[in-house]
Amino acid sequence: MYIERKQDLSIFYWLKDDIFADAPFITIVDGFPTEGLSVPTVSVEGSDINIGPFELGNPHGIKYRIWDIDVFGENKSQRDEFGYRILNEVESKIPVYNYDEGFPPDVTPTKTGVLIPERIKMEIIRVDPNLVSDLYWRATVSFVAIYEQT
């Protein structure tokens, strides 16, 4: 499995098992929900990957990845509460695990490194409730991260 996919899965399980472990009524989705959206839902989707120069003599450069975490709430208060929780927690390093070893809860995979988030933002997405009621109370927390192997 590519390291990028391990990072995606690490963020998914970080949301599910760490950030929202106390809220089993929230659906956590790997990828943007395309059908059957149940509210409240939190989805995570990796978007851009940029590789830029890092140091002289390093032919690989450094990868900057962007993630979008979408929050779909039943109302403004729920959207904000979940969004603020993610916003505050994403300021810490996010552990990345080797999911080639297996998946929780059957296996506790080995930690391979951390994602170091930077340029964190939360954006309220406004949609006319007469058009799409499920998406009305929505926010996106997005951030850029660099992977650091341990």
> Which CATH number is 31's domain given?
3.30.70.1700
Between 27 and 132, name the one with better pLDDT. 27
| pLDDT tens-digit readout, 38-67 | 899 999 998 878 777 666 566 666 778 999
The domain tally of the chain equals 1
User: Tens of pLDDT along 70-129?
Assistant: 999 999 999 999 999 999 999 999 999 999 999 888 899 999 999 999 999 999 998 776
Strands 41-52 and 62-72: antiparallel
Q: What is the domain range of residue 139?
A: 3-149
Among 44, 37, 123, 46, CA closest to 83: 123
- Using DSSP's 3-state secondary structure scheme, residue 57 falls into coil
Res 61: pLDDT: 65
CA distances from 58 to 48, 63, 105, 142, 148 (A): 22, 12, 38, 28, 15
What's the confidence (pLDDT) of residue 30?
Answer: 94
